[in-house]
Amino acid sequence: MPLPTLTTPTIDDIHAAAARIAAVAVRTPLMESPYLNDAVGGRLLIKAEPLQRTGSFKFRGAYNTISQLPENIQKNGVVAFSSGNHAQGVAAAAQLHDIPAVIVMPEDAPALKVANTRGYGAEVVLYDRYSQDREVIGAAIADERGLSLIKPYDDPRIIAGQGTLGLEIVEQIDTPPAQVLGPCGGGGLISGTAIAIKDSFPDANVYAVEPEEFDDTARSLREGVRQEIDPHASSICDSLMPPTPGELTFAVNRKLLAGGLVVSDAQVREAMRQAFLRLKLVVEPGGAVALAAALTGAVTCRNRTTVVVCSGGNVDSTTFAEILNAS
Amino acid sequence: MPLPTLTTPTIDDIHAAAARIAAVAVRTPLMESPYLNDAVGGRLLIKAEPLQRTGSFKFRGAYNTISQLPENIQKNGVVAFSSGNHAQGVAAAAQLHDIPAVIVMPEDAPALKVANTRGYGAEVVLYDRYSQDREVIGAAIADERGLSLIKPYDDPRIIAGQGTLGLEIVEQIDTPPAQVLGPCGGGGLISGTAIAIKDSFPDANVYAVEPEEFDDTARSLREGVRQEIDPHASSICDSLMPPTPGELTFAVNRKLLAGGLVVSDAQVREAMRQAFLRLKLVVEPGGAVALAAALTGAVTCRNRTTVVVCSGGNVDSTTFAEILNAS
């Protein structure tokens, strides 16, 4: 299995990724709501990534990575560990390549994400988030069965794939944005997006947005070195729970980001309700953190254009109903 | 107030409407879900009109109509009667033209629709759906205040405006569809869509889909003359409750449609859940009837390409939560 070159991807890598995924990925719309504009006193442009294939941006990076595996290695299949969205992205990308996929998921992942991953034809292996190390399990399965490990974020091919979302924003927007806000777990999405945004709009401020208790990137950006989260931290944002920023993603983010923003679970719930009411979009908790930051003024959006990435919509119906009812 | 010419609009009228609304309306995406394709054994392409400005297709026709009023008449303002989506469409279009709007709405319209209509700056006048005639009320207010009445469907400018949705389907689709399914209340959307679809794809079958008890168009198409619904009929599809097909819309539909399909409230609820799960799209009951027809096999979708119009997403959060929880 070839080791990925651990160099940060360039804008050319993102263009190449865009060409690779063009026939299979959705070019998701950049939406605007007069109501939300009024609410912040500025212009909000929402990248509606729940409409992506598999319901989140993760398909972009997964497909870009799998399609670059050498044929004789690719055919053996792939393995991934993920709380859900990367799982679905890898499973769907593997299915499109007609190769086997094994997905290692935490036992407490949303039922919908587990069911969907199996629905894409993958074999699901469950583990205990608190007592077992998913990286160790993933590596063992990869070795044993000769599978290629598809990392969730710390791989230049993943970062370039997620960066296609930023490239689409550049192509879809009609004015240079003052700032771009995106959800941040391991940092693959925001680092790839930052590369694309800063290439065309060097003056735009790009922010990583995280849930309270999972603010490892915000703290790492302040300290200059990677920080870890409390292993017993909790949040409704199940898709943004990696223990520490990626090595490669943090190298990019440290150079390109304006900073990290943090939102509470309550602010995330309200952002999900606003997306339902104003955008008619189903956004999962982790996918709504950037919208929450914009709506609560974690960074001011007044009299300027702000791009907000809503990164996914894979939320159980019971959870979504509960959040709607709490309004 | 000039009377609209009661002739059916042509494809040229739809092209002209598309040019009028281009700068203010959303070109909504045509979505596809591998899961839904598998479910029907064919290809479903979903026109995602909940993502339209005001959350439904009604903005298209309202804006197209108001923008054609002579300036000296337009400036006095407009009046409309509507259960909700036409109300929001007219209110938003009036606001963009910077003219007053009075909206006559039933007392039992969803709270969200009433609130949104007021949010677009319109004055809302409530009436009792069972004891008062909204056409009489609307006409009286129009006369009294010198306002132009913007009809919900029986006007060639409205039909041409709604037809821009069909024109977009023609431009977005990569293969001639076997059939196109769209919700039908008064018939404005499906008649305009049929004109656009049949112009490019004369062999495509276009179907009007209605809720049980509000199947006036299905029955009218069978009988050859306009039928009425039972005045005490009820349905969760609040946006599809006109008492009888429009005169002009029925003249178009009688000529162009392949027939009418009927779905139950239970089928509509399940279609809303599937749109939530598979498309990450909020679809209101009346907006989901065509998807319900496709998913339940009211017309077969096996081994063919079916376009399904999801026409709006203005549903209260309590109603939506209740429908999700009933799964």
pLDDT band, very low/low/confident/very high, at A1 (cuts 50, 70, 90): very low
The least confident of A25-34, A75-84, A145-154, B168-177 is: A75-84
The least confident of A95-109, B164-178, B198-212 is: A95-109
Cβ distance of A324 and B320 shorter than 8 Å = yes
Q: What is the mean pLDDT of chain A?
A: 94
Considering only alpha carbons, which residue of chain A is nearest residue B38?
A119
Query: Can you tell me the distance from the alpha carbon of B256 to that of B250, in angstroms, rounded to the nearest whole number?
Result: 10
Long-range CB contacts (within 8 A, 24+) of B96-102? B96/B24, B96/B63, B97/B66, B97/B67, B99/B66, B99/B74, B99/B75, B100/B76, B100/B147, B101/B77, B102/B77, B102/B78, B102/B141, B102/B145, B102/B147
User: What are the start-end ranges of the E strands in chain A?
Assistant: 30-31, 43-48, 78-81, 101-106, 123-127, 148-149, 179-183, 205-211, 259-263, 305-310
Instruction: Return the ∠ at Cα A220 (arms to A138 and A205), rounded to 5°.
Output: 110
Residue B45: which H helix or E strand, with range?
A: strand B43-48
Among residues B156, B125, B118, the alpha carbon closest in space to that of B140 is found at B125
Cβ distance of A280 and B317 shorter than 8 Å = no
Chain A residues close to B322, C-beta within 8 Å: 321
pLDDT for the residue B52: 98
* A239: its two tokens: 């898709």
Q: Looking at the complex, report in whole angstroms how far the Cα of residue A275 sits from the nearest Cα belonging to chain B.
A: 10
Q: What is the mean pLDDT of chain B?
A: 94
Mean pLDDT of all residues in B84-92: 93
* Span A194-219, pLDDT tens digits: 999 999 999 999 999 999 999 999 99
Q: Looking at the complex, report in whole angstroms how far the Cα of residue B281 sits from the nearest Cα belonging to chain A.
A: 5
CA dihedral B183, B186, B190, B194 (to 10 degrees): 160
Among residues A153, A120, A110, A64, the alpha carbon closest in space to that of A313 is found at A110
pLDDT band, very low/low/confident/very high, at A287 (cuts 50, 70, 90): very high
Backbone angles phi, psi at A179, to 5 degrees: -155, 155
Residue B63: which H helix or E strand, with range?
A: helix B58-66
Is B268 within 8 Å of B236 (Cβ atoms)?
yes
Mean pLDDT of all residues in A144-159: 95
Q: Looking at the complex, report in whole angstroms how far the Cα of residue A218 sits from the nearest Cα belonging to chain B.
A: 29
* Span B42-67, pLDDT tens digits: 999 999 999 999 999 999 999 999 99
DSSP one-letter code for A326: T
DSSP one-letter code for A47: E
Residue B208: which H helix or E strand, with range?
A: strand B205-211
pLDDT for the residue B5: 52
Query: Can you tell me the distance from the alpha carbon of A241 to that of B325, in angstroms, rounded to the nearest whole number?
Result: 27
Which residues lie closer than 8 Å to B18 by C-beta, 6 or more apart?
Answer: B164, B167, B168
Residue B318: which H helix or E strand, with range?
A: helix B317-325
Pairing label, strands A179-183, A205-211:
parallel
| Residue A274 pLDDT exceeds 90 | yes
Domains of chain B: 11-57+156-325 (3.40.50.1100), 59-149 (3.40.50.1100)
| Residue B1 pLDDT exceeds 50 | no
| Residue B315 pLDDT exceeds 70 | yes
Please tell me which of the candidates A35, A279, A320 has its beta carbon nearest to residue B324. A320
User: Residue B127 CB: number of other CB atoms within 10 A?
Assistant: 17
Which residues lie closer than 8 Å to A92 by C-beta, 6 or more apart?
Answer: A53, A54, A59, A62, A63, A120, B34
Mean pLDDT of all residues in A246-274: 97
Chain A residues close to B276, C-beta within 8 Å: 282, 317, 320
Chain A residues close to B280, C-beta within 8 Å: 50-51, 55, 281-283, 313
What is the pTM (predicted TM-score) of this model?
0.94
In this prediction, does ipTM exceed 0.85? yes
Query: Can you tell me the distance from the alpha carbon of A95 to that of A110, in angstroms, rounded to the nearest whole number?
Result: 21
Chain A residues close to B119, C-beta within 8 Å: 35
Question: What percentage of chain B reaches a pLDDT higher than 90?
Answer: 84
Among residues A149, A120, A145, the alpha carbon closest in space to that of A136 is found at A149
Q: Looking at the complex, report in whole angstroms how far the Cα of residue A276 sits from the nearest Cα belonging to chain B.
A: 7
Chain B residues close to A273, C-beta within 8 Å: 317
DSSP one-letter code for A301: -
| B96 close contact with A: CB closer than 8 A | no
Question: What percentage of chain B reaches a pLDDT higher than 70?
Answer: 98
